[in-house]
Structure 1
Amino acid sequence: MSGDRCVFCAIARGREEASVVFEDDTVMAFMVLQPVTPGHLLVIPKSHAEGLADLPDDAGLRVWAVAHRLGRALRLSGLRCEGVNLFLADGEAAFQEVFHVHLHVFPRFAGDSFRLQADWRVHERRRLDETAAAVRAGMAALDADPR
């Protein structure tokens, strides 16, 4: 989806409504329409980036810096907040539904309904070392990419 048909781009341009919490030249943060818990926010880059591969480093750093600050603000907000989750889904397999990078920031508390289900078994060191080597190879490929 291009920026022309992207709901988050429309919000960033002021063409769609949003309950904005923070905005600067690079990013915007606003309330989620269907929050996991009260205080659930999205932080987006204002320029369209479908996924992490499309997100310039400087914009990504700003998204995370603002999310960090908002997470701290949630704890001081008076909203029920015993913890904070930062969640970013990159790609359809990761359950990304709106294809414009967005970082969820939401308060957590005992008894809330949010759950992540996975196979949490401990893996053997050999397997972890092999996986670490694959990630290091990916990092080397990024370093070699002239972009």
Structure 2
Amino acid sequence: MSELEKDCLFCKIIRGEIPSYTVFENDDVKAFLDISQVTKGHTLLIPKKHLENIFDYSQEDAAKYLQYIPTVAKAIRESDPAIKGMNLEVNNGEIAGQAVMHSHIHLIPRYSEDDDMVVPHVDNSSQYSEKNYQAVANAIKSNLE
């Protein structure tokens, strides 16, 4: 476990220095209940390699760690017949709401439309023309490896 950070909260959980309610673990990843439990079953999936956020992932890292999302998501869904859907949330950087600087994916079960969970999204489409959309798309395309 040489690829873990000494003072990282999630690295400490991986090392067993801090207890967690583990739901899945193998050599690559660990999934455990989020202490906040936004909804019952709210789980975090983390790589067992310290990667700060998605911007640190190589293609190999993505293949190695993200392949377990469906495994954990399906297990959560099957754990409670009341689960109707699930939000996957990944916050990258403090500005995006990342609180622990170790890559993690929130798997948040949804039980009903009125479960008090807020998923904030803003529709800014009125500010974009076809030309604006194409310029943004081109800027992104030009940076693909």
Match of 2:12 in 1: 10
Instruction: Give the TM-score, by structure 2 length.
Output: 0.87
Match of 2:54 in 1: 52
Most deviating of 77-86 and 22-31: 77-86
Pairwise CA distance, 1:64: 2.4
Instruction: Give the TM-score, by structure 1 length.
Output: 0.86
Pairwise CA distance, 1:120: 1.2
Structure 1 stretches of 4+ moved >6 Å: none
Q: Which one of the candidate residues 105, 119, 129 is aligned to 1:124?
A: 129
Q: Which one of the candidate residues 97, 101, 104 is aligned to 2:103?
A: 101
Task: State the AA in 1 paired with 2:142.
Answer: A
Pairwise CA distance, 1:79: 5.3
Most deviating of 77-86 and 56-65: 56-65
What SS does the aligned partner of 1:66 have?
helix
| 1:106-145 deviation line (CA, Å, top 9, x unaligned) | 1012211221223214343322211111111221xxx2xx
Match of 1:20 in 2: 22
Task: State the AA in 1 paired with 2:131.
Answer: R
| Gaps in structure 1 of 5+ consecutive residues | none
Q: Which one of the candidate residues 135, 142, 145 is aligned to 2:140?
A: 135
Task: State the AA in 1 paired with 2:12.
Answer: A
CA contact (8 A) 1:38 1:79 kept: no
Match of 1:114 in 2: 117
Structure 2 vs 1, CA of residues 101 and 59 (structure 1 numbering), >3 Å: closer, same or farther?
Answer: same
What SS does the aligned partner of 2:23 have?
strand
CA distance in 1, matches of 2:24, 2:54: 21
Question: Which structure's residues are more often helix, by fraction?
Answer: 1
| 1:63-97 deviation line (CA, Å, top 9, x unaligned) | 32212222122221125311011110000111101
What SS does the aligned partner of 2:143 have?
helix
| Gaps in structure 2 of 5+ consecutive residues | none
CA distance in 2, matches of 1:95, 1:4: 23
CA distance in 2, matches of 1:107, 1:100: 22
CA distance in 2, matches of 1:30, 1:58: 23
